[in-house]
Amino acid sequence: MELKDKVAIVTGAARGIGRGIALCLAREGVHIVLADLPAVDADLERTRGETEAEGVQALATHCDVTNAAQVQSMVQAAIERFEHVDILVNNAGVISVAPVVLMTEAQWDLVMGVNVKGAFLCSKAVAPHMMERRSGRIVNVSSIAGLKGNAGLAHYSASKWAVLGFTESLALELAPSNVTVNAVCPGIIDSAMWAEHILPAIAGVQSVSPEEAWQAFVKERIPLGRPQTPEDIGEAVVYLCRADNVTGEALTVSGATELR
């Protein structure tokens, strides 16, 4: 696929991996629909400005990906503004840390709702449009946590495994319509998710500062010895959007972390 002047929807686009994906696509000439929650409006507007600075058009919109009506409105707004949608990146995700015996039902439902149901609703809303045009790319953001279980992250790991199963199934369904569906499995990224949830939990167990916990984790867990960046994930998404004959695959970008 030639990416210049294509149109992409990126969910969870205000910051972190979503921002990195949006910027990498924008640098390839892709117009971007940036979707996120009102709570991160300032970040969303900042990302919109950064993408437009790459010479493309950007539309910032609010969307709770667990709400079918809001998802439909997001897709409709994208089509009204740009007339078509060529790429969907299901990036919106949440996390919390808790052992199963202490995990609340609300924690489980939120993680599964955003990470799995969100990908389902957004794909369901966009797929008919792509099928009609016989062209499209759907990229789901999973995680190395979807390749191997993690104590304290049972709900998150379960959700990211589900994303991989959903990816493979949807790829088979949409292949006859020339629409590809793939996943990216990010590794260890210095993001708000890590800073606000994972590192405090690790630091508390080890009785060290979050920064010390981060440095030790990177050294011990990543064979390449360096964390991944949002732009690393963005470049992986760009590749999967270009690729004509890759579908149903999970591309891991982790510095070989998943091998340990």
Q: What is the DSSP letter of 223?
A: T
Nearby residues of 162 by Cβ (< 8 Å), 6 or more positions away: 112, 115, 116, 146
Within 10 Å of residue 101's Cβ, how many Cβ atoms?
A: 5
Residue tagged active-site, from 156, 161, 166, 217: 156
Beta bridge partners, 89, equal 10, 139
Residue 102: other Cβ atoms inside 10 A: 8
Rounded to whole angstroms, the Cα distance separating 190 from 215 reads 11
For residues 178 and 28, give the distance between their C-alpha atoms in angstroms, rounded to a whole number: 22
For residue 239, indicate whether it is catalytic.
no
Give CA–CA dist 108/28, Å, rounded.
37
Distance from C-alpha of 179 to C-alpha of 260, rounded to nearest angstrom: 34
Report yes or no: 65 and 71 within 8 Å, Cβ to Cβ: yes
Contacts of 34 (CB under 8 A, 6+ apart): 10, 13, 14, 18, 22, 44, 47, 48, 51, 58, 59, 60, 61
DSSP 30: -
What residues are annotated to the active site? 156
